[in-house]
Amino acid sequence: MAASRLYLDWNATAPLHQAAREAMLRALDLFGNPNSVHGEGRATRAAIETARRQVARLAGALPLHVVFTSGATEAANMVLTPEFRMGRTPLAISHLYVSAIEHPALREGGRFARDRVSEIPVTSDGVVDLAVLDTLLAVHDKPAGLPMVAIMLANNETGIVQPVGDAAKIVKAHGGLFVVDAVQAAGRLPLDINEIGADFLIVSSHKIGGPKGAGALISRGEVLMPKPLIHGGGQEKGHRSGTENTLAIIGFGAAAGAAFSEFEMRNSTVKMLRDRLENGMRLAASDVIIHGAEQERIVNTCFFTLPGLKAETGQIAFDLEGVALSAGSACSAGKLGESHVLVAMGRDPQLGALRISLGFATTDEDIDRAIAVIAKIAGRRKPAGVAA
């Protein structure tokens, strides 16, 4: 009998959590439009507001500060804009500063013109260079408008945790707005928008065991908000028009509730599994390079290189062995190429980096099998100096 597939790509998307599945099945009977005033509409609205409270709790925010979107990419495009309002007063944001290791949803700059976007470099350790950030903001043209800074809390490829708290202090000292991509951090790091010092957090449903098609832009307050990206009927308090995706939002809320209540158990277990995986990798291939191993990382991520094995070749080899992992970020419609994160860290872009990411359903047996497959593939590599 053929061995079952082994899924080790949780940073790309997490399998649907049972709590989300059950909540969505119940929600199939909620056919009322959540914006209708009759009983059927109110029942659907109540379920959405329960989900809003669940997502808010995961982010340490207030429910009224959660705006549901179709996903993190939409949330990023919504908030990355030069057009803001402070209440009814227009507020100009003249320039966006985004780290070199951001997800493409943020690196592309949202609604900013390309000449209004600057990159913040990272150190060779994969950590945002705060000294450069401070220098960039010090020479920012303040009369033209305020600066906006966008930095992820945890990198989606390396898992390295970024110093967003320190970055927030620098941004505030220069009078800027601070956006934090918490997509990979949600459920894996304690989240509190106020403690972080962010003006906005971005989170995604399918990264935490909810369905695809839902995300949220979470604000620290309700006065300072971006110009809406989608106009129409004024749903989500006018910030995001369009009838809410009830089923996805309810699943998102249930997944957020599970991530909050299972936080300690999940992360302690996953950390042990990830550490055992990396120890086994080192025994299976003594020359393996684990990127970011000396830095603080989210506990589920291992970004590694087997010298002599190209990323594309490695991903196919693992897939043929029944193991699903990725060659970096799963964000470009299946495209494979050099890792912009490794390039930003000053590493050789020709390194074949692969990412294993674990989750709440990963088992000891999964780790044993992964190590065995790594040993098998590592043993098939061609000697140094021979083209792969």
Active site residues: 331
What is the CB neighbour count within 10 angstroms for residue 135?
12
Phi/psi at 158 (nearest 5 deg)?
Answer: -85, -25
Helix, strand or coil, per DSSP, at residue 270: helix
What are the tokens at 72? 């993190």
Give 84's contacts (C-beta < 8 A, 6+ positions apart): 90, 91, 92, 93, 177, 224, 225, 226, 227
Q: For the residues of 78-111, what is the DSSP string, one character each?
A: HHS-SEEEETTEEEEEEEEEEETT--HHHHT-TT
- Round the CA-based radius of gyration of the chain to a whole number and report it: 21
Instruction: Give CA angle at 70 (67, 76), nearest 5°.
Output: 70
Q: For the residues of 129-180, what is the DSSP string, one character each?
A: -HHHHHHHHHT--GGG-EEEEEEESB-TTT-BBP-HHHHHHHHHHTT-EEEE
Give 285's contacts (C-beta < 8 A, 6+ positions apart): 306, 374, 375, 378
First vs last C-alpha separation in the chain: 32
Residues in the chain: 388
Instruction: Tell me the C-alpha to C-alpha distance, in Å, between residue 334 and each of 104, 129, 212.
Output: 14, 30, 17
Whole-angstrom distance, CA of residue 207 vs CA of residue 187? 9
What is the CB neighbour count within 10 angstroms for residue 375?
15
